[in-house]
Amino acid sequence: MNQRQREILLLVQQQGFVAIETLAQNFHVTPQTIRRDINTLCEQQLLTRYHGGAGLSSSVENVEYTARQVLNLDEKRCIAELTAKQIPDRASIFINIGTTTEEVAKALQNHTGLRIITNNLNVAVILRSNPSFEIIIAGGAVRPRDGGITGEATIDFIRQFKVDFGIIGISSIDADGTLLDFDYHEVRVTQAIIENSRQVFLVADQSKFERCAMVRLGNISQVDALFTDHPPPPHIIEILSEANVVLHTSDAAIGKTKRPAELI
């Protein structure tokens, strides 16, 4: 995506629907240019085109894995670097399914003595080159589309452990702080990770705020820290402050850590 397309996507995520004429005026380009941008975003399953404008994609189906791998990649890498700095050597970690958590795995490669338990085959492949790591893969059914492992066997496996850090990604953070995803089976595994982690780190770029998804995971107040690329909306910051969740923002690769109350 080019910068204009990124901004179009962000506007639609914030407003739910935006008219073509409004976007053309906002970006000082022709409606034809906006239509081409919308078509590109629709082809990537990031938006849905409607008469006269564009709206959010379905709440029942996630964006394809290959598209998610490159979507907001720079932001995810900054988030990952910021998260990795908070993980000490010789720690035990859960890492769940998601393209942002995979970037965190890449950022952890130079650590020493980590014990990683994951239901993400891609995370295991990324981290296997470090001989000081012990990597444990959860059992269960493997999803061909993204290498995620889910199911009752996965949940039972996760519950055998109590680790220092649970690093989780999410598809959507609703306006009231509800954490949402698309796959019921994946959500149940992540709930088990939250329950069996001493500290829970949520990694999510700004596109996840108020995006549509249908399966409830929990609430953002259940995590210990949120790592994102820009400060979230004010009502989310208020929820973080009330729950004493620490907010870390990369702010275009400049690492910042603030208590939520400092941002209100």
Q: Where residue 29 sits, what CATH number does that domain have?
A: 1.10.10.10
Length of the chain: 264
Q: Is residue 191 one of the residues assigned to a domain?
A: yes
- Please give the model's pTM, rounded to 2 decimal places: 0.76
Mean pLDDT of 192-207: 95
Residue ranges making up the domain that contains 39: 3-57
Residues 133, 241, single domain; the answer is yes
Mean pLDDT of 49-59: 72
Output the pLDDT for position 264: 35
Output the pLDDT for position 87: 98
Residues 78, 22, single domain; the answer is no
Mean pLDDT of 211-230: 91
Residues 50, 108, single domain; the answer is no
Q: Is residue 41 one of the residues assigned to a domain?
A: yes
Output the pLDDT for position 60: 46
Residues 118, 175, single domain; the answer is yes
The one-letter code for the residue type at 36 is: R
Range in 99-103, 204-208, 211-215, 256-260 the model is least confident about = 256-260
Residue 94 exposed, middle or buried by CB count within 10 Å (0-12, 13-18, 19+): buried
Residues 144, 182, single domain; the answer is yes
Residues 201 and 184: their CA atoms lie apart, in Å, by 21
Structure tokens at 70: 């490159």
* 262 — pLDDT class (breaks 50, 70, 90): very low
Q: Between β-strands 92-95 and 163-169, what pairing exists: parallel, antiparallel or unpaired?
A: parallel
As a whole number, the mean pLDDT across the chain is 88
Residues 2 and 10: their CA atoms lie apart, in Å, by 13
Radius of gyration of the chain measured on its C-alpha atoms: 19
Q: Is residue 52 one of the residues assigned to a domain?
A: yes
Range in 21-25, 66-70, 161-165 the model is least confident about = 66-70
Residues 16, 79, single domain; the answer is no
Per residue in 135-192, pLDDT (tens digit) is: 999 999 999 888 999 999 999 999 999 999 999 999 889 889 999 998 889 999 999 9
Output the pLDDT for position 254: 40
Q: Does residue 73 or residue 137 have the better pLDDT?
A: 137
Output the pLDDT for position 253: 45
Q: Is residue 62 one of the residues assigned to a domain?
A: no
Output the pLDDT for position 48: 79
